Structure 1
Amino acid sequence: MSDVSSSGDGGREVDLPVGIGRHTSTLLVGDAYDRTVRDVCNSLLNLEDDRPVRVVPVTFHHSSAEVVERWRAVNGPLPEEMVVIVVSESQTWSSGRDGSLHDNVDVGYASPTDITGLGINIQRALTQDRTRTVVCFDDLTNLLMYVDDQIVFRFIRALGGNILAADGTIHYHLDPSAHDRQVRNTFRTAVDAVVEIDDDGEVKLLER
């Protein structure tokens, strides 16, 4: 039953299932452009915690400036720390702090064909201090266009262990219309929980 409310995209209240966000790794199944999916994503990045937060958006579709602009539009002030990882074939900029964005925003770049390099970028963003790291991987579907399913599966499992060790969380976006049932079921087993939005817009949490 969905009986926890959280402020989603643009301040809209979203009914979330009890227990959402407590898992190390979550698969968020739905069209990334669907408003409810965006609301759930934003809620997963803004769960209440007494510790400072480092937000790590891993994006296949936006520049670092666009990510920061969207965060400000939806949430207002930036989190204590943000590391934006831009995944693109066409850009090979070096990682580092982009002073044009904000003093507490770092930017990393990775190629979708280099899953090892992508993992290293995410690993660098993890900490084992008091900061709580929350990661949003905005397009698992896109990564699967470049990398074999089983390699991606092992990547998710290994990354989940690293995030668990850092006491962080990660959620992955998967477009169900782009994959057959076998692929969808495979990646359900790679994470601790699955969040789905049904045809009526109700958010459902499936725990392993």
Structure 2
Amino acid sequence: MAIHAYSDDYLTSAQRILGDMLDFAVNTYDMDIDKFFEMFLVSDVSRQFETGNPTYVAGKTGCELVKEIIRDSGILMEDYPDEMYLDKSPEYWAGWALAYYQWYYGRTFSKIYRAVSMKEIRRMYEVYHEMDLVHFVERLDELWNICYPETNLKRIRNLSGLSQRELADLSGVSVRQIQLFEQRQRDINQTRAIDILKLSRVLGCKNEDLLEI
């Protein structure tokens, strides 16, 4: 039951645009990468981007997004000409890689940022920029699990007052399967939709409440 944030038709352009956005903000506007990203988070741009609004993940440039975010913040700054660099900086890579991670899981940028700052992601450039992105995803998963140690399934099950065995008996999903989900040894986002449905019916929640997004 893999659920991505939006169609992969837009993924390549989304990665490029987010990369150009951070590159332009840091290297033209000389802004601190975390301070700018916090402006991005409180603007409407982040919500439009993470839900895959085509205007934002394909129709605008990274430079246009920076200027929109600055306008939304109410800060008066000099209006620099649009510039997208041919040499891709660590800031570009940080945005490019982050866009992929956000698309892959459909997690919000704000929840990702709580787990790992943009400065931390930028520092990963030296180690990960020539590797397959799967290694970057795995590293962010490690940081995510440290920040959010309890899975949604375990949290909701505990709130319901059910043991793992009781949930298994009522749902028909094996207790071993439930244990693997709660220990993060099996990705609940990748399991069969019917298992999610069975669990959510017993727990009285929506299917998506059990996913790790």
TM-score with structure 1 setting the length: 0.24
1 or 2, which has the higher helix percentage? Answer: 2
Between 1 and 2, higher relative CO (CA 8 Å, sep ≥ 6) is seen in: 1
| Structure with the higher fraction of residues in strand conformation | 1
